[in-house]
Chain A
Amino acid sequence: MKIELKNISKSFGSLKANKEISISISGGIHALLGENGAGKSTLVKIISGQLNPDKGSILISDKKINLGSPKIAINNGIGMLNQNPLDFANLSVLESFLVGNTQNSFMSNNHKTKEEILHLFDNYNIEIDLNEKISSFSIGQRQQIELLRLLYNGVKIIILDEPTSAFSLEQKKMIFDTLKKLTKEDITIIFVSHKLDEVFEICDSGTVLKSGRVVYSMHKPFDSDSIFAKMFDDTRTKNKITNKEKRSDKFKLFIDELDKTKQETFSNESLIDFGTVVGIAGLQGSMNDKLVNNFFSRDFSKTGIFFDNGDYIDKEKLYYMPADRLERGLFEDLTLKEHFALSYSNRSKYLNWNDIEIYGEKKIQEYDIKATITQKVDQLSGGNQQRLMLSLLPESPGVLLLEQPTRGLDFNSANKMWDIILHRKKNDIAIIFSSTDLEEIWDYSDIIISVSGNTIVNIESKQNLNKENLARYVSGILD
């Protein structure tokens, strides 16, 4: 199915999210690339009818369609698979298929519908009880159900908005196979991502957006260097881990949640140098974040950090940064100044706003936060919020416990984040971080803990590990 975007423009206040975007896709899988804030999500929201553009038109099979209504988009065969499954936790699978989809006011003909849906599930070799509640499935399964729902509705154009973050390797492979199969049935797929390897694997053509404009159009075979150059201002090479100054002291990392049956294969008490970076690798939804949190809450029955001589590391030396920036890390409606005051105030009972301002300005400089001190946190971009969170950790050396420190950040912001973390590392006792991005784990860790689901399957220093095995550990294939 052919889809053409013509001169799509959309502004939010003074921010021009999309500027005169024109793309023509005649079929296959088309990648939509760009760093955070490049305008990808605005564009897909316009295509799927959730946003009305200021200007421009969309043509499907050379026919102009009306914009700005999800219903019209659906009727024109446009469906979207969101980053997180956009479904209804308390509804059954069958009900979820029916929402917004029944013509009759009474849901009488359920039996026939049920047969059709079961048949569709059969075609894709998925066994699912249609009466089961959506909430009882994993995020990956929920995405599969959503994808099948779109097919059931007869979509001809599917938009996938970074859908793979929640998938296990197997599920990802299955989805990719499905997508390839679908292109043979004249279904066009728009694949939004910033993971270049995935794009190279399955896409036939692509468009790179930057600051709301189309800066590059491409077709297979792709040239990764020029894509990279177009996506980012400066193609800085990844941070190199500087050789840490060896300090003589060591400390112990104690973990007691290993798979009991395999306990003998690795020691659960590791002796670690000061300044070590420990990466906890796991897929979305695995216990990798919880493990980081465990160190912080000093749930000593299971995990702990202590010095070689057996003393626990002082609680005040454990600095924790949660994964959900706005849920648990920052206060959306407070200004930066107020945040600095909160992290600064334990030094005196009264707030000295002058001092706080000086302190804050210094931090803003040091952590490269693009904002003024009087701005509210919800006006900041993800990268700036993340750096702000890091800047709020105490300056004195400690153990940094970072839950997914670069979650949702694009390449540049993530790199900047690691610049700062590695800079801090020189003085810190250790850094323990979790991530679902195996590249990140591999690039920055000295010791890697691999987690699959709710079990730790492997603890190993990086020298003794190879990347392929890491991927296998994490997806539970190897244990």
Chain B
Amino acid sequence: MITIENSLITVIALSTPLIIAVLGETISEKSGVINLSAEGTIMICALFAFVFGYLTDIAIVGLIAGMILGSIIAAFLSLCDIKLRMDQIAVGFVLTILCSRLSSYLGQDYVRISGPTLNKMPIPLLSDIPFLGNILFNHSLITYISISLIPLTWLLLNKTTFGLSLRAVGENPNAAKSRGIDVQKIRFIGTLIGGALLGLSGAAFSLYAKYGWSEGHTANYGWIVLAIVIFGGWNPFRAAMGAYAFGLLQVLAIKAQSVTLALSQVLPLLPFPLMIFILIFIQYINRKDSSSVPLIIKSLIGGNQPESLGKKLPKEL
């Protein structure tokens, strides 16, 4: 029981940055923008958050710095998209390379030094609940943020007018415009929120989940984020489940080290083929003519890819 409890605590703690990033990317993609700079953004924001936290010795300052830098990168991407009508994929890819290289160059002086971290903040009363209390309510601030962002993102997308406009823009910008929506503005804000969360995710890495800084610190999580968003079918809850499942496999791999070395080497690799397999499966389910698939599975697994995802805005918008 203790080991299960400990493992689950670790899963939730370790998945913190992933959850935040996945939710951010989901919001961005719902507005029609694939932020392919996720990998680079998370990495350079992890560095920035660490540096600011280190210099001020206040971890919260680091979190805010990460969010701001993430928003700036996203704003750049968005302006390339909505104003210059450049290809999102190309710009995002170049940004990723640029930010990754830049972070290893700028971060040389900060490798493996200790800085501030976010401390555990048990929530009074709730954390006393046996079993669940420890798993859910005995974490740091950023983990609480990550957990509460899951329903908040869902609420934003499904229960607010802004969320509806955002989805409308991601589906069909032309139609959205004819309903009187300012398409460029909505798409810009959507990308910006997504970028801010990617930045916060980076900060969650260097200030909490894997505190400190080293080159390649975020271990390609940015790419995983892009896959988990598809896995989640652009639904915040499902995407979060995907992120936790990924975290669980990572934790299992660590535990397996004590059992057999072979298993511990296989498990960390497992998510990747598994992810590819699941993505193929989802793709199959989503195909319009796959009528052999039961409706329940379809609604459970199939996703709502925004129709205009990754596409340039029409000329007249």
Q: A residues near B, CB below 8 A?
A: 48, 50-51, 69-71, 74, 80, 82, 86-91, 95, 98-102, 104-108
Q: Are A90 and B164 in contact (CB under 8 A)?
A: no
Distance of A366 Cα from B305 Cα, bound (Å)? 46
Distance of A80 Cα from B175 Cα, bound (Å)? 11
The answer to whether B172 has its CB under 8 Å from any CB of chain A is: yes
Q: Are A107 and B171 in contact (CB under 8 A)?
A: no
Q: Are B176 and A100 in contact (CB under 8 A)?
A: yes
Q: Are B168 and A100 in contact (CB under 8 A)?
A: yes
Question: Which segment of B53-61, B136-144, B178-186, B249-257 sits at the interface?
Answer: B178-186
A100-B165, A105-B160, A107-B164 as given contacts; A89 in contact with B179, CB under 8 Å: no
Task: Write the chain B residue with the least CB distance to A82.
Answer: B178
The answer to whether B187 has its CB under 8 Å from any CB of chain A is: no
Q: How far is the CB of B59 from chain A (nearest CB, A)?
A: 32
Task: Write the chain B residue with the least CB distance to A98.
Answer: B164
Distance of A48 Cα from B176 Cα, bound (Å)? 14
Q: Are A86 and B178 in contact (CB under 8 A)?
A: yes
Q: Are A90 and B171 in contact (CB under 8 A)?
A: yes
Q: How far is the CB of B285 from chain A (nearest CB, A)?
A: 15
Q: Are A70 and B178 in contact (CB under 8 A)?
A: yes
Distance of A227 Cα from B178 Cα, bound (Å)? 32
- B168, B176, B307 interface centre (most CB from chain A within 10 Å): B168
- B160, B164, B174 interface centre (most CB from chain A within 10 Å): B164
Q: How far is the CB of B136 from chain A (nearest CB, A)?
A: 27
Q: Are B181 and A105 in contact (CB under 8 A)?
A: no
Q: How far is the CB of B288 from chain A (nearest CB, A)?
A: 9
The answer to whether B161 has its CB under 8 Å from any CB of chain A is: yes
Distance of A98 Cα from B158 Cα, bound (Å)? 12
Instruction: Identify which of A82, A100, A107, A108 contacts B179 (C-beta below 8 A).
Output: A100
Chain A residues positioned under 8 Å from B165 (CB to CB): 99-100
Q: Are B164 and A95 in contact (CB under 8 A)?
A: yes
Distance of A374 Cα from B165 Cα, bound (Å)? 42
Distance of A102 Cα from B180 Cα, bound (Å)? 12
Chain B residues positioned under 8 Å from A90 (CB to CB): 167, 171, 304-307
Distance of A51 Cα from B178 Cα, bound (Å)? 11
Chain B binding surface, main DSSP class: helix
Task: Write the chain A residue with the least CB distance to B155.
Answer: A106
Besides A70-B177, A89-B171, 4 new A-B residue pairs in contact (Cβ under 8 A), listed by A number: A51-B316, A82-B178, A100-B168, A100-B176
The answer to whether B159 has its CB under 8 Å from any CB of chain A is: yes
Q: Are A70 and B179 in contact (CB under 8 A)?
A: yes
Q: How far is the CB of B156 from chain A (nearest CB, A)?
A: 10
Q: Are A86 and B175 in contact (CB under 8 A)?
A: yes
The answer to whether B223 has its CB under 8 Å from any CB of chain A is: no
Distance of A263 Cα from B168 Cα, bound (Å)? 46
A99-B165, A106-B161 as given contacts; A88 in contact with B178, CB under 8 Å: no
Q: Are B172 and A100 in contact (CB under 8 A)?
A: no
A88-B168, A89-B307 as given contacts; A99 in contact with B181, CB under 8 Å: yes
Instruction: Identify which of B160, B172, B180 contacts A86 (C-beta below 8 A).
Output: B172
* Total contacts A-B at CB 8 Å: 73
Instruction: Identify which of B174, B179, B307 contacts A99 (C-beta below 8 A).
Output: B179
A-B contact pairs, 17 of them (CB 8 A): A50-B316, A69-B180, A82-B178, A86-B175, A87-B175, A88-B167, A90-B304, A91-B167, A98-B164, A99-B175, A100-B165, A100-B180, A100-B181, A101-B179, A104-B161, A105-B161, A106-B159
Chain A residues positioned under 8 Å from B181 (CB to CB): 99-100
Chain A residues positioned under 8 Å from B306 (CB to CB): 90
Q: Are B159 and A99 in contact (CB under 8 A)?
A: no
Distance of A338 Cα from B291 Cα, bound (Å)? 41
Distance of A50 Cα from B161 Cα, bound (Å)? 22
Distance of A86 Cα from B180 Cα, bound (Å)? 13
Distance of A82 Cα from B160 Cα, bound (Å)? 27
The answer to whether B162 has its CB under 8 Å from any CB of chain A is: yes
Instruction: Identify which of A69, A87, A107 contacts B159 (C-beta below 8 A).
Output: A107
Q: Are A70 and B180 in contact (CB under 8 A)?
A: yes
A70-B178, A70-B180 as given contacts; A102 in contact with B172, CB under 8 Å: no
Chain A residues positioned under 8 Å from B304 (CB to CB): 90
Q: Are A102 and B161 in contact (CB under 8 A)?
A: yes
Task: Write the chain B residue with the least CB distance to A50.
Answer: B178
Chain B residues positioned under 8 Å from A100 (CB to CB): 165, 168, 176, 179-181
Chain B residues positioned under 8 Å from A89 (CB to CB): 171-172, 307
Q: Are B161 and A107 in contact (CB under 8 A)?
A: yes
Distance of A92 Cα from B239 Cα, bound (Å)? 21
Q: Are B164 and A99 in contact (CB under 8 A)?
A: yes
Q: How far is the CB of A379 from chain B (nearest CB, A)?
A: 14
Task: Write the chain B residue with the least CB distance to A104.
Answer: B161
Residue interface mask B144-163, A partner, CB < 8 A = 1: 00000000000000011110
Distance of A104 Cα from B168 Cα, bound (Å)? 17
Distance of A70 Cα from B173 Cα, bound (Å)? 13
Q: How far is the CB of B312 from chain A (nearest CB, A)?
A: 13
Chain A residues positioned under 8 Å from B171 (CB to CB): 88-91
Query: What 4 pairs across the A-B complex have the smallest Cβ distances?
Result: A100-B179, A71-B180, A88-B171, A86-B175
Task: Write the chain B residue with the least CB distance to A101.
Answer: B179
Chain A residues positioned under 8 Å from B307 (CB to CB): 88-90
Task: Write the chain A residue with the least CB distance to B182.
Answer: A71
- B159, B162, B171, B177 interface centre (most CB from chain A within 10 Å): B171
Q: How far is the CB of B73 from chain A (nearest CB, A)?
A: 28
Q: How far is the CB of A88 from chain B (nearest CB, A)?
A: 4
Chain A residues positioned under 8 Å from B168 (CB to CB): 88, 91, 99-100
Q: Are B172 and A87 in contact (CB under 8 A)?
A: yes
Distance of A101 Cα from B175 Cα, bound (Å)? 13
- A71, A88, A101, A107 interface centre (most CB from chain B within 10 Å): A88
Q: How far is the CB of A294 from chain B (nearest CB, A)?
A: 15
Residue interface mask B280-316, A partner, CB < 8 A = 1: 0000000000000000000000001111000000001
A88-B171, A91-B171 as given contacts; A50 in contact with B164, CB under 8 Å: no
Instruction: Identify which of A74, A87, A95, A106 contacts B160 (C-beta below 8 A).
Output: A106
Task: Write the chain B residue with the least CB distance to A85.
Answer: B175
Q: Are A48 and B178 in contact (CB under 8 A)?
A: yes
Q: How far is the CB of B306 from chain A (nearest CB, A)?
A: 7
Chain A residues positioned under 8 Å from B164 (CB to CB): 91, 95, 98-99, 102, 107
Q: How far is the CB of B179 from chain A (nearest CB, A)?
A: 3
Q: How far is the CB of A69 from chain B (nearest CB, A)?
A: 7
Q: Which residues in chain B, 169-214, are within 8 Å of chain A measured between CB atoms? A: 171-172, 174-181
Distance of A431 Cα from B160 Cα, bound (Å)? 55
Q: How far is the CB of B61 from chain A (nearest CB, A)?
A: 31
Distance of A91 Cα from B172 Cα, bound (Å)? 10
Chain B residues positioned under 8 Å from A86 (CB to CB): 172, 174-175, 178
Q: Are B180 and A88 in contact (CB under 8 A)?
A: no
Distance of A181 Cα from B268 Cα, bound (Å)? 67
Chain A residues positioned under 8 Å from B160 (CB to CB): 105-107
Q: How far is the CB of B101 from chain A (nearest CB, A)?
A: 33
Task: Write the chain A residue with the least CB distance to B175.
Answer: A86
Q: How far is the CB of A155 from chain B (nearest CB, A)?
A: 12
